[in-house]
Amino acid sequence: MENTFKKKKTFKKFFLGERGESGFVGKFFIYLLLIGISFIFMYPILKMISKSFMGLEDLMDPTVIWIPTRFVFGNYQKASEVLNFWKSLGDSLKVGILPTLCAVISSSLIGYGFAHFEFPGKKIWMALLVGIFLLPTMLMSIPTYVIFQKFHMLGSLKAYIYPALTGFGLRQSVFILIFYQFFKVIPHELSESAEIDGASEVGIFVRIAIPMSVPAFIICILYSFVWYWNETVLATTYFQGNITTLQMALSSFEHMYSQLFPSGSIGIGSAAESFNQGVLFAGTMLTILPLLLLYAFTQKWFVESADRSGIAGE
């Protein structure tokens, strides 16, 4: 009788769990839910990868769904030529890295100032900061364009770098608020101890504030880089053709393809040269590949930093 009771208890513990621990049934449904959600997010990328290796014959064949009958690596070669990949990649890295560094440095300084100094109108400035974040980006684009034109900032990275240095970069108010929250929770005793030891405000910021706010720096750097990388409307308006990022090149992909391959317009020329989804998906993959690699190498720090900074993602 006692053995039967123990077996039932063990059986119940294994399948249903006990004391806050999930059993087999609970874990099964949790994993099933996670796999389902992951598939929803991964499906477009997996489908894009699959179709990027397909030729026109496979794309037109309804029986070919995932695995091509013949892998067409030429799609990536053509897409690279259309995108002018290496030049566009260099421009994208400049557009992503330089303004990001400026935005993160200035945001950390502004956030530190709001967190550790008292000055007249502080609450008003904080309210304005939140208000700027709520304003649509396109609403400010026209007056910003006029100002940039007046100061001869159009057609170069100045249109991104100067606003980032002054705290008005792309969605930069978010980063200022993140740094403000991080610096605000730093114990004042640490700052006071450093002051007694003769440290200046700059020394306190460098030796105490920055090391304790590494998660904020990581999350702001990654978000800023991705936002600058993906921006096309403002980049097209401000750079005026002098700088062409991968995203900008992708937006005019079909037009550039028809110029490089005159017989490649839709419905014209041979099947090998005809513009098709395979080439377009290959170009899209080349465009997002740097971001995928960035996330692959930084996902551990990204997830930990996002958790500590309270960012849910976008």
What is the maximal distance between C-alpha atoms in the chain?
91
Q: How far is CA 141 from CA 145, 146, 148, 269, in A?
A: 6, 9, 10, 42
pTM score of the predicted model:
0.81
In this predicted structure, the answer to whether residue 275 has a pLDDT above a threshold of 80 is: no
Tens digit of each residue's pLDDT (9 = 90 or more) over 30-46 = 888 888 888 888 888 88
The answer on pLDDT for 314 being more than 50 is no
Q: Topology of domain 75-309, per CATH?
A: MetI-like fold (1.10.3720)
Average pLDDT of span 250-270: 69
- pLDDT at residue 90, as a whole number: 93
Least confident interval from 85-89, 230-234, 281-285, 301-305: 301-305
Torsion of CA 230, 234, 236, 238, to 10 degrees: -130
Which of 112, 88, 289 has its CA nearest to residue 206? 112
Amino acid at 185: V
Domain with CATH 1.10.3720.10 in the chain: 75-309
Instruction: Convert the pLDDT of each residue in 46-59 to its tens digit.
Output: 889 999 898 888 88
**Torsion over CA: 229, 233, 234, 236 (sign):** positive
Q: What would the two tokens of residue 171 be?
A: 């969605």
Residue 114, Cα to own-chain centre: how many angstroms? 26
Q: How far apart are CA 169 and CA 162, in angstroms?
A: 8
Convert the pLDDT of each residue in 126-157 to its tens digit.
Answer: 888 888 878 877 788 888 889 988 988 888 89
pLDDT category at 271 given cuts 50, 70, 90 is very low
| Residues 59-81 pLDDT 10s | 888 888 888 888 888 899 999 99
Instruction: Note whether 66 and 52 are within 8 A (CB).
Output: no
Which pair of structure tokens corresponds to residue 100?
């990001």
Alpha carbons 228 and 245: distance in angstroms, whole number: 10
pLDDT digits (tens, 9 = 90+) for 76-89: 999 999 999 999 99
